[in-house]
A and B are shown apart, each in its own frame.
Chain A
Amino acid sequence: MSEDIIESIKKNVIQGRVTQDDEGIEEGMAGQPGVTELIKEALASRISVSDIINDGLTASMEVVGQKFENEEYYIPDMLASAEAVGAAMELMEPYLAQSGVKPKGKILVATVKGDLHEIGKNIVSILLRGAGYIVKDLGNDVETQDIVDAVREEKPEFIGLSALLTSTMVNMEDTIKALKENGLRDRVKIIIGGAPVSQEYAESIGADGYGADGFHAVAVIENLSAGNSVAI
Chain B
Amino acid sequence: MPREGILISNPLERLSGEQVRQIHDASIEILNDPGLLCFNKKAAGIFQSRGAEVAGVSGSDTPCWHVKIPEKLVTDALASAPKTVTLGARNPDNALVMKGDEPRVFFITGSETNMWLDVDFPTYVNKSDPEKESKVPEFQPRRGMVADLCDSAHVCEHLESVDGYIRTVNIQDKDITEDNKDVNKFFACLNNTTKHVMSGLTSLNQLDNVVKMAEIITGGPDKLKENPIISFITCLVKSPLQFVGDTTETFMEVCQRGLPIVVSSSPQAGTSAPIKEAGIMAQINAEVLAGITLGQLVNRGTPVLYGSVPVRARMDTLGDSYGSIETSQYNIDCVQMARFYKLPNYSTSGVSDVKIPGQQSSIERLFSDIVVTLSGPQFLHCAFGLLDCNSVFCLLQAVLDDAHFQMIKFFLKSPRINEEEFDTVKKQIREVVNTPQKMFINYIRPVMRSGEISPPYPFEGDGEGDSVLALANERLQELRAKPVEHIDPDTAARIFREIPGLLPRLNVHEGDG
Write the residues of chain A forming the contact surface with B, with a CB cutoff of 8 angstroms.
16, 22-23, 25, 74, 76-77, 79-80, 83, 118-119, 122-123, 125-126, 137
Contact = CB atoms under 8 A, between A and B. Distances in A.
A204 to B, nearest CB: 23
B441 interface: yes
Interface stretch (B200-208, B367-375, B385-393, B444-452): B444-452
B442 interface: yes
B359 interface: no
Contact of A119 (B439, B448, B449): B439
B441 A76 contact: yes
A76 B436 contact: no
A79 B441 contact: yes
Nearest to B431: A21
Q: Which 9 A-B pairs have the closest CB atoms?
A: A76-B444, A122-B437, A76-B445, A76-B441, A79-B441, A23-B446, A122-B439, A80-B445, A80-B442
B213 to A, nearest CB: 44
Contacts of B439: 119, 122
Q: A76, A118, A119, A125 — which one has the most chain B CB atoms within 10 A of its CB? A: A76
Contact of A25 (B437, B441, B442, B445): B445
B445 A77 contact: yes
A125 B445 CA distance: 19
Contacts, number: 28
Dominant SS among interface residues on chain B? helix
Given A80-B445, A126-B437, 8 more contacts: A16-B445, A22-B442, A79-B441, A79-B442, A80-B442, A123-B441, A125-B437, A137-B436
A2 to B, nearest CB: 29
Contacts of A77: 445, 448
Contacts of A80: 441-442, 445
A198 to B, nearest CB: 14
Interface string B406-436: 0000000000000000000000000000001
Contact of A23 (B436, B437, B441, B445): B445
Contacts of A25: 445, 449
9 contacts: A22-B442, A23-B445, A25-B449, A76-B441, A76-B444, A77-B448, A80-B441, A83-B442, A122-B437
A223 to B, nearest CB: 21
A192 B446 CA distance: 32
B437 A76 contact: no
Nearest to B449: A25
A76 B446 CA distance: 10
A126 B441 CA distance: 11
Nearest to A30: B446
Contacts of B446: 23
Contacts of B445: 16, 23, 25, 76-77, 80
Residue among B436, B439, B445 having the largest count of chain A Cβ atoms under 10 Å:
B445
A122 B439 CA distance: 9
Contacts of A23: 445-446
A122 B435 CA distance: 12
Nearest to B447: A76
A74 B448 contact: yes
A74 B445 CA distance: 9
Contacts of B442: 22, 76, 79-80, 83
A214 to B, nearest CB: 11
A70 B444 CA distance: 19
A26 to B, nearest CB: 11
B455 to A, nearest CB: 11
Interface in B7-51: none
Nearest to B442: A80
Contacts of B437: 118, 122, 125-126
B235 to A, nearest CB: 47
A25 B444 CA distance: 11
A118 B442 CA distance: 17
A76 B437 CA distance: 14
A199 B444 CA distance: 31
A123 B449 CA distance: 21
A102 B366 CA distance: 57
B215 to A, nearest CB: 47
Nearest to B443: A76
A188 B445 CA distance: 36
A77 B446 CA distance: 10
A124 B437 CA distance: 12
B462 to A, nearest CB: 12
Contacts of B441: 76, 79-80, 123
A22 B442 CA distance: 9
Among B439, B441, B448, max chain A CB count under 10 A is at B441
B464 to A, nearest CB: 13
A125 B437 CA distance: 10
A155 to B, nearest CB: 22
Contact of B448 (A22, A76, A118, A137): A76
Contacts of B436: 137
Interface string B328-351: 000000000000000000000000
Nearest to A16: B445
A22 B449 CA distance: 16
A126 B445 CA distance: 16
A215 to B, nearest CB: 14
Contacts of A119: 439
A94 B87 CA distance: 71
Contacts of A123: 441
A122 B436 CA distance: 9
Contacts of A125: 437
Contacts of A74: 448
Interface in B150-180: none
B171 to A, nearest CB: 40
Contacts of B448: 74, 76-77
Nearest to A23: B446
Nearest to A77: B445
A129 B446 CA distance: 23
